[in-house]
Structure 1
Amino acid sequence: MTGGKGSCACGKTKYTFSGDPVMTAICHCLDCRKLSSSAFSTALLVPSSNFHFEAGAPVKTVDLKHHIDGIDMTPHFCGNCGSWMCKTADDDRFRGMHIVMAGTLDTEDGQDSKVTAPQAELWTKYRLDWVKPLEVKQCVGFE
């Protein structure tokens, strides 16, 4: 997948990114489960210099408590519908990156067929019992 675009549920907040994602991963951490209202989240790690919000509804951020790993995460939401678009983190491993939620990607065929398959599952110690591991790198935390 080289570059992409995405939008929120109401379509008023849009973004684009260029280049290939550094990584695509599934995250089972408790924050991602809460923010996504799901069993896990799927995200693409994109350099911030390649990621741009377009004009539209204002993007809102929320200051979260420290992540379970002690990292300060800042989720970014559509200011109109509240869709979780991406997050940034104040940590050397993620500084200069946008963690883009894969469910917000807009694909030409309306499916995720061009989205890079996950290369890793993160925070597997929080994976729900009924979610089966993928045949990818399994990480207890971020590493």
Structure 2
Amino acid sequence: MSTRFASCSCGQLSAQVTGDPVRVSICHCLACQRRTGSPFAQQARFPRENVTIAGNSGAWFRPGDEGGGATFHFCPQCGATVYYESKDLPAFIAIPVGAFADPGFPAPTVSVYEERMHAWIVPPADAEHFA
């Protein structure tokens, strides 16, 4: 079983995960663009029992466009988001793929909010695509 390590920029907040993600997705919604400072967000979802969090976090809740919402946990020192919890999916923890700093991380299999996608972005052809 594989083990991966994600952390904030300064290393104070981290997440260790065992096993493969159950979903790797990219989101092109405007809220994710603003939150990440990038034209999309990429996240990996893991069963909660496979994630070990270490360090202190600040938290910020953002309501979802269609209900639900998520609590984002970030380092109070450097500000980097290390994980988040979806209100509608309490059995899982999502981790921004960039927090792993692993260019070999699995590609996304789902792409959402594509109507807000930047014109130059080309998601993997075999991913599920949602407008």
Q: What TM-score results when the alignment is normalised by the length of structure 1? A: 0.83
Q: How large is the RMSD of aligned CA atoms in angstroms?
A: 1.6
The amino acid of 1:38's aligned partner reads: S
Q: Choose from 82, 86, 111 the match for 2:83.
A: 86
Aligned: 1:138 with 2:104: no
How many angstroms apart in 2 are the aligned matches of 1:29 and 1:95?
A: 22
Distance 1:134 1:50 in 2: 27
1: CA distance, partners of 2:111 / 2:3:
22
Gaps of 5+ in 1: none
Separation of aligned partners in 1, 2:116 and 2:33: 9
Segments of 4+ moved more than 2 angstroms: none
Cα shift at 1:63: 2.0
1:59-116 Cα distance to aligned partner (Å, 9 max, x none): 110122x21122221111012111011211111xx2211111000004xxxx411x11
Matched pairs, number: 130
Equivalent pairs: percent with the same residue?
25
Deviating more after overlay: 79-88 vs 1-10: 1-10
Deviations 1:10-38 (A, max 9, x none): 11111101111001111112221111011
- Equivalences for residues 55-134 of structure 1 within 5 A: 56=55, 58-64=56-62, 66-91=63-88, 94-106=89-101, 111-113=102-104, 115-134=105-124
In structure 2, how many angstroms separate the alpha carbons of the residues matched to 1:2 and 1:26? 22
TM-score, normalising length from structure 2? 0.90
